[in-house]
Amino acid sequence: MMIFNAWLAVFAAASVAIPSSRELGKAEAPCRPDENGPAFIIDVVGLKDRSGLLKLEVYPANDDDFLQDDNILVSQGKAFRRLELAITGDAPIQMCIRVPAPGPYAVSLLHDRDSNRKFGVLIDGIGFGQNPKIGWRKPKADEALLLAGPQPKRSRIVLNYSQKFLSFGPVGER
């Protein structure tokens, strides 16, 4: 009976899905005042306009996990962080996101212009660590890598937008 109960507990735990939540990865993400530790300070460059939200996300540094569903990453105990910021005012935008430990991470930045929490290829902007040329393809994880050290590291991400169905690239540095 004890073996059956143990098996039942394992089966029940394995079959419980983590509910989708836009809160996953957010509790650990924001930098705190005067905090030193592994983090990325991202200067956001090339906004098309000042509407909507910015969503900065940090993923494990491999192609299988890069841009993977957050529920899957969290349920597998993998690194995932998300920081959302409503765009206000005209000041330059800087976002600071903490990471679990020093090391490489794949980083993406979404300009969700209509605030629907989804990437709309014809509406929204997207950028990645190292600012790879995107065209119409998703970059590989190693093209979006940033290396976190023991102290916060400053980097710059340029946003890219659809260019009248012809290409996908920066619209300017605002």
Task: Report the C-alpha gap between 60 and 149 in whole angstroms.
Answer: 15
**CB within 8 A of 145, min separation 6: which ones?**
61, 104, 105, 106, 107, 129, 130
What is the number of domains present in the chain?
Answer: 1
Residue with the two structure tokens 């393809």: 137
The first and second tokens of residue 161, run together, are 């937008």
Q: Is residue 6 part of a domain?
A: no
- Hey, which residues does 5 pair with through a beta bridge? none
pLDDT tens profile 93-109: 999 999 999 999 999 99
Q: How far is CA 32 from CA 58, 64, 82, 120, 155, in A?
A: 17, 30, 15, 31, 18
Domain extent, residue 150, equals 24-169
**CB within 8 A of 21, min separation 6: which ones?**
none
Task: Report the C-alpha gap between 109 and 36 in whole angstroms.
Answer: 23
CATH of the domain at 90: 2.60.40
Residue with the two structure tokens 């059956």: 4
Q: Is residue 18 part of a domain?
A: no
pLDDT surpasses 80 at 134: yes
pLDDT band at 7 (very low <50, low <70, confident <90, very high): very low
Q: Is residue 47 part of a domain?
A: yes
Ranges 10-19, 77-86, 90-99, 150-159: which has the least confidence: 10-19
- pTM of the predicted structure, to 2 decimals: 0.83
Q: Is residue 174 part of a domain?
A: no
- Residue 137: φ, ψ to 5°: -120, 155
Q: Is residue 12 part of a domain?
A: no
pLDDT of residue 21: 55
Cα 87 from chain centroid?
Answer: 16
pLDDT surpasses 90 at 30: no
Alpha helices in the chain (DSSP H): 2-15, 70-75
pLDDT surpasses 70 at 148: yes
pLDDT band at 24 (very low <50, low <70, confident <90, very high): low
Asked if residues 39 and 83 have their Cβ atoms less than 8 Å apart, the reply is no
Ranges 11-25, 34-48, 112-126: which has the least confidence: 11-25
pLDDT of residue 113: 96
pLDDT of residue 84: 95
Q: Which residue has the higher pLDDT, 122 or 60?
A: 60
Q: Is residue 72 part of a domain?
A: yes
Q: Is residue 86 part of a domain?
A: yes
Task: Report the C-alpha gap between 40 and 60 in whole angstroms.
Answer: 14
Q: Is residue 14 part of a domain?
A: no
